[in-house]
Structure 1
């Protein structure tokens, strides 16, 4: 077996994980390939662990770890190895800590059964934990147990409840163009274009909050998405790259917004090429929690109910779809990834993307003509 540098190894193997730590694996006397119960900060540490493990086998001191390794110990190692984005790490870590470990932490890994998993899930739901949280917790548990199967620690994943890993979410509404403009009128002036771009380009909150002047091309009517703002309880505000290559994209905006966007840049945006296009009410980075108060007042003033900011993105997606955009064009414009294209930059041909934006523009003008 080869180590992480490609050299042949007499016993076991070592590989470097995405987290930067090292995993040691070895063949037990029973013929099964096993992973060390923990990962190591250096390859040398992993090598030394394998030397000791080989000595245990040769001297007859080896004990089958399948009989003693607990879910908690394995899950801790598993989670450390994940190459998660900050927000995903926080969300999945919370599900593991609050909803999975209290039940399974001290249970021997190979003794977890499907009926136990079924009871655990039912108990979460009956105790009032929201269905989306239960779905996320089940997904994390299933992923851990899948890795345990791959590591040869268990023969079969006990997470076999049909539909338990799929969230049942109600279809969100999309707004009419007139409703978008009512919302834009209801927010303070420096947030007006923020609302309009969210609805008519489909950019996410974090993408809009991270926009810099250099990302806006008024002549070509495009916005380049290169980064996003994320907020976590542990790390606070983070400026990060989009979580997939498809999220890095250039989106055309309707010509009707050009004058308003230019005025916004002159009046409300920070100075300099890297100055933020949109800022909070008191300047600085726009935060979702602070904007929420503005949003709630605006939807009330606009006479709307049960409208989320993300529904503006849904509105933009719907308008683009009615303009004849193909599924692939929609995925590219909205920054969605498929398994096949997760790490590949995908950009629309400029002419076709502008056709989509022009269709949105025609809808805006129709609404303005009716109101005028």
Structure 2
């Protein structure tokens, strides 16, 4: 450290001696670092965190970055201009309890905030995390899903536009996500010459980022997988490829109207519309029309994956096999299907017992 004049050097030395006298001295470099830390706002740190975040050594996917930035801008606004070091537990508690009544989104935002401050603690930017609201991250009870029957799945598929019919069947019997279906290429599907077996390899998925439909890698490492096609779908797959998919190996199996991956809106369409008297004004189209036709207007496209996982569990799949089949990285999700199947087996046993007729042994009078 150098000084331009003797007076400045003596002044600096006097300040350092005063700190020593009051037992407050720390190395000048440490003091500069603390000053810089106090100057970092939550907004600056969070944007850098999102941009450089790694998950299992991999950068965040573009869709995840967009989602986190959206949460930051809409949910974390009260913290934006505050220095990172100034945010207290009381601040976080007030923020959490003042958020809109959207439990799932609020819990998601809280978990993101917790992860951001976990990094701040690891970098020694703050001594401890202020994100500690009791009960904020308790696991929600999974929504009860009223699955379709096998016959209803077939009816739903048949009610779709012909070019989208196979999407329902693959989602229901191969547990493919919407983005995985719309990202499938012809070369990802392999059918044997005698049409006795076939596979689907999931290597990419379609996502929407900043309003644009893009192809990227699957949601997680577990999403990369090869699925054996159930034999009863082989002919449906062959016919679809022959009718709706170009011969180019990179051609999308389910192309959108502009040659790009299908958007949810192009598949979902809209539900039938009725006037105040209950008369139908418009028949609707797409998936929303199809689910209305089978009497299940509450059913979601993603619920077809639940159907697939439940069928696999009923068929005896182990937890590991379920995870591989559905591309799950969370063992708790796979175990949930097995527990549901066990509950159904117990209920079946009780119903069978109710059908039993107790015959009194015959005795001579």
Shared fold per TM-score greater than 0.5: yes
Normalised TM-score (structure 2): 0.72
Q: Partner of 1:232 in structure 2?
A: 209
Q: Partner of 2:306 in structure 1?
A: 314
Query: 1:280, 1:291 within 8 Å by CA — same for their partners in 2?
Result: no
| Greater CA drift, 103-112 or 85-94 | 103-112
Q: Partner of 2:85 in structure 1?
A: 110
Which of these residues, 104, 119, 124, is aligned with residue 99 of structure 2? 124
Residue 267 of structure 1 deviates from its aligned partner by 1.0
Q: Partner of 1:295 in structure 2?
A: 287
How far, CA to CA, are the matches of 1:299 and 1:272 in structure 2? Answer: 33
Against the structure 1 CA distance between its residues 108 and 185, is the aligned structure 2 distance closer, same or farther, given a 3 Å change threshold? same
Residue 326 of structure 1 deviates from its aligned partner by 0.3
How far, CA to CA, are the matches of 1:160 and 1:63 in structure 2? Answer: 24
Normalised TM-score (structure 1): 0.70
How far, CA to CA, are the matches of 1:165 and 1:113 in structure 2? Answer: 18
Q: Deviations over 1:187-221 (max 9, x none)?
A: 11111111111101101111111111111112232
Against the structure 1 CA distance between its residues 214 and 77, is the aligned structure 2 distance closer, same or farther, given a 3 Å change threshold? closer
Instruction: Flag structure 1 segments of 5+ consecutive residues without an equivalent.
Output: 1-28, 32-55, 340-372
Which of these residues, 151, 154, 165, is aligned with residue 123 of structure 2? 151
Against the structure 1 CA distance between its residues 57 and 259, is the aligned structure 2 distance closer, same or farther, given a 3 Å change threshold? closer
Which of these residues, 322, 332, 335, is aligned with residue 330 of structure 1? 322
Q: Partner of 2:45 in structure 1?
A: 74
How far, CA to CA, are the matches of 1:165 and 1:292 in structure 2? Answer: 32
Partner of 1:275: helix, strand, or coil? coil
Residue 246 of structure 1 deviates from its aligned partner by 1.8
CA RMSD of aligned residues (A): 2.3
How far, CA to CA, are the matches of 2:301 and 2:34 in structure 1? Answer: 56
**Bigger CA radius of gyration:** 2
Query: 1:121, 1:134 within 8 Å by CA — same for their partners in 2?
Result: yes
Instruction: Flag structure 2 segments of 5+ consecutive residues without an equivalent.
Output: 1-24, 54-58, 270-285, 332-365
Query: 2:51, 2:65 within 8 Å by CA — same for their partners in 1?
Result: no
Q: Partner of 2:35 in structure 1?
A: 64
Q: Which structure's relative contact order is higher, taking Cα pairs within 8 Å and 6+ residues apart?
A: 1
Residue 66 of structure 1 deviates from its aligned partner by 4.2
Query: 1:149, 1:157 within 8 Å by CA — same for their partners in 2?
Result: yes
